Each structure stands twice: as C-alpha cells, then as structure tokens.
Amino acid sequence: MSEPVQTPQTFPTRIFSGIQPSGGLTLGNYLGALKRFVEKQDEGIETIYCLVDMHAITVWQEPEKLRQQTREGAAAFIAAGIDPKRSILFNQSQVSAHVELGWIFNCVARMGWMSRMTQWKDKAGKNAEAQSLGLFAYPSLMAADILVYKATHVPVGEDQKQHLELCRDIAIKFNNDYGVNFFPVVEPVIEGAATRVMSLRDGTRKMSKSDPSDQSRINLTDNADMIAAKIRKAKTDPLPLPDSVEGLKDRPEARNLVSIYAALSGHSVAKVVHDFAGAQFGTFKPALADLAVATLTPITTEMNRLMQDPAEIDRILGEGAERADALARPNLEQVYDILGMIRSRRR
C-alpha cells in the first residue's frame, strides 16, 4: 500500500467550497455561502474557493454568457471580501485534477446513490431521459472537487447537505475498497440564520438563480431601487410580526424575511423577532430594504468596478488555478498509484 494508514485526526483543517457560474449570484448564494466563505477566510483557516464551470455545463450554457458569469462570480467573491492572496480563488476547468478524480469517483459511486439525490430528482423531473449524463453524475464531481484537496470542511447552504453526505459515502467506500485511509470524511458547515433563503414570491420555494421570475430573488447586480422594490413587493401574510420565534411557524414568508434580516444584520432570529414584535410589514419591510441596500450596495459597486478590468479577473483566476493545481496534483498522483495505474510518463 503506497499511503501509510492515517487516522482521521491527521487531516489538517482545510475548507473548500464552490458556486456555479450558471447565472448571476443571488442573496441566497450570498447569505448561505459567500458571506460565510469570507468569515472562514478571516478566521485564518486555509480556504479554497472555486467557480465550478464544469458543473455549470451539465445544463447547456451560452459560451459568452458563461465566460461573463464566471468573471462576475469572481468579482462577487472579491467584492464580498475574499482576498485572492489569503484564499485560493479559481475556476474549476483550469485545474483538470477535478475531472480526473471525478471520473474515478464515477467508478466508486453507485447508480442507486445517485438516483436518490433529491436535486437530481427535482431537476430531472419526469424528463430524466432528456437530461445530460453529466447532470446525473454531478454529485460525484462535486465530491472530487472537495476531496482532491483532502478538504475537511465545506461551508454550504442547506440544499447541498445531501450531496455532502454522498461525498462522505464516496470517501468511505474508496478508503474501504483500497484498504487506505486516504480521504477525509468531510464535515458540512451549514450555519447561520439564512441557510435556506426562500423565494420572495413563495416562501416554500428556495430563492434560486434559475427561477423564471426575477421578482423572486435579489441579485447581487440589482441596484438600490430594485432591491427596495422587490422587498416592498415580497409576498407576506396579513398578520403583524409575532413576539416569539415559535410564532413564525407556518408563516413561511414572514420567517424568510425575518431570517434574511437576521443574517444581514448578524443578529439571531430571536433578537430580530424581539425588536420587531407586533410590527406590521409596512414597518418591517422598509427597515429590511434599508438594511439590504446598505449591505449589498457596496458589494455591487465594487463588483462593477472590478468588472471594468476583465483581464485582471482572468489573471487572478489563473494564479489561483496554479496554486490549486499545486495542491491537487500530488494528491491525484497518489490516487493513481493506489489504483494501480502506471505513471511512467516524464513530466
């Protein structure tokens, strides 16, 4: 066996996470992921963040738009506080180790595991036959994204939980199949008041960049007027805000807006409920709009500034990819060795 058996504790803490550049980023991506990516970086943990363009093409993307959205995603990371010197920031397709390990994991993961993924079932719906094979295999590539760095912790929103459980299953099966303790069993990091930001039009559905209604979401590219208008028009119920967190039960729209307020302000849901107990939405919504505009406008402004210089963004992504590759490649070479593949080509 080429790798000495390690105990799980010997894996140093390393964070990996990714966002698809398949559309503009939303407030859900910001609160559920991006804002927390910055917090982890600022805690001094080793952080690797990726615009997962290879995931994006599991559904057809217009090439020029994909390029633009990848740059815009990178600009959003930087504008939100990711420092490309302290974190590694890159786009997935520039580090081919991801897809190489992804293929290997396609041979580890079982069809049954993949068929049970709720996101696959939701996206494929009744039309599974017409979906790309890539969309079905997607969670196995996601596991490779993480494990090629032997990352131990993965900050994500609630909707990615099942994919991370699959990542754990793949790591365990690989380790068992080859009698090694090579891959860590990752910990999902799903924290904060807004792990599942819901649509502004329907509090039972996730806020998503793919929702046909632009009114359902706040985009990181929306200006102050658009943000305020969307919050003003957000669906609510006729009751005033409750005086306890339990009072938000069965009120999905109210709970969503309160959670967004909590996440934006950095306070707990309990504190927001306490501060606005008995308030009408006519009072709460303008307060939320002010807070959202004050938080998001500086990010949007900085994104727009960064987007003026696409060559600089590409340079940052390229440099990040080189650093990412230097970490991923040796791990992948060890995997090939574990698998019994001859690696005699001179490099």
Query: Considering only residues 87, 160, 219, 221, which one is a binding residue for ligand TYM as defined by CB under 6 A?
Result: 160
x/- string (CB under 6 A) for ligand TYM, residues 3-42?
-------------xxxxx-------xx--xx---------
x/- string (CB under 6 A) for ligand TYM, residues 176-195?
------------------xx
Distance of CA 306 to the CA centre of its chain: 21
Phi, psi of 129 (to 5 degrees): -60, -30
The pair of three-digit structure tokens given for residue 63, joined into one six-digit string: 């090439």
The one catalytic residue in 123, 161, 173, 271 is 123
Contacts of ligand TYM in 200-239 (CB under 6 A) = 206-207
**Residue closer to ligand TYM (CB basis): 53 or 307:** 53
- What is the Cα–Cα distance from 32 to 193, expressed in whole angstroms? 9
Does 95 contact ligand TYM by CB under 6 A? no
Count of other CB atoms within 10 angstroms of residue 91: 26
Does 145 contact ligand TYM by CB under 6 A? yes
Residue 145 in contact with residue 50, Cβ under 8 Å? yes
**Residue carrying the six token digits 């039972």:** 204
Residue 123 annotated to the active site: yes
**Residue closer to ligand TYM (CB basis): 29 or 300:** 29
Paired strand residues for 198: 206
The one catalytic residue in 65, 173, 209, 235 is 209
Q: At its nearest, how many Å lie between ligand TYM and the CB of residue 17?
A: 4
Nearest-5° Cα angle at 121, 116 to 122: 140
Residue 27 in contact with residue 218, Cβ under 8 Å? yes
**Residue closer to ligand TYM (CB basis): 91 or 300:** 91
The one catalytic residue in 35, 206, 230, 285 is 206
Does 142 contact ligand TYM by CB under 6 A? yes
Residue nearest to ligand TYM (CB): 32
**Residue closer to ligand TYM (CB basis): 106 or 312:** 106
- What is the Cα–Cα distance from 41 to 87, expressed in whole angstroms? 7
b/e burial code for range 160-199 (CB count within 10 A of at least 16 → b): bebbbebbbbbbebbbeebebbbbbbbebbbebbbbbbbb
Residue 206 annotated to the active site: yes
- What is the Cα–Cα distance from 4 to 13, expressed in whole angstroms? 19
Does 117 contact ligand TYM by CB under 6 A? no
Paired strand residues for 154: 188
Does 196 contact ligand TYM by CB under 6 A? yes
- What is the Cα–Cα distance from 74 to 47, expressed in whole angstroms? 15
**Residue closer to ligand TYM (CB basis): 94 or 240:** 94
**Residue closer to ligand TYM (CB basis): 19 or 78:** 19
> Could you give the residue numbers annotated as active site?
123, 206, 209
Residues that bind ligand TYM (CB under 6 A): 16-20, 28-29, 32-33, 52, 55, 142, 145-146, 154, 156-157, 159-160, 163, 194-197, 206-207
